Amino acid sequence: MSEQSLRVAPSFAPSTPTEELVLSKMVRVLGHEKAAALLEETMASIGLAQLNNIQEMLSVANALIKAGGFPSVIGRSLKVYAILRGASE
């Protein structure tokens, strides 16, 4: 995750219910701009153009966990959320 991407106001807007859910948790901690930038960059880093399901949410969660800091706390919560709904490693 580059510092630059977190500072720039993103054009990213959620396009699926899963993206909305993930973004809403991130916004609570990081604010809208940083959250949107982080989610967009995280999705790009794992080759996802869109978050369509719980399994993809788990992939984003794992990427956030690897990022460390507050994103990793969000990632852990998203990971449990996804696993409770049937996602598997």
Rank residues 4 and 28 by Cβ distance to another protein and give the closer one: 28
Q: Give the C-alpha separation, 74 to 79, whole Å.
A: 9
The 3-state DSSP class for residue 89 equals coil
- Which parts of this chain interact with another protein (CB under 8 A)? 24-26, 28-29, 54, 73-74, 76-77, 80-81, 83-86
Min separation Cβ 74 and another protein, Å: 6
Rank residues 4 and 81 by Cβ distance to another protein and give the closer one: 81
Rank residues 48 and 73 by Cβ distance to another protein and give the closer one: 73
Min separation Cβ 89 and another protein, Å: 15
Q: Give the C-alpha separation, 12 to 81, whole Å.
A: 23
- Give the DSSP H/E element, type plus range, for residue 68: none
Q: Give the C-alpha separation, 86 to 55, whole Å.
A: 8
> Would you say 9 and 33 are in contact if contact means Cβ atoms under 8 Å apart?
yes
Min separation Cβ 12 and another protein, Å: 19
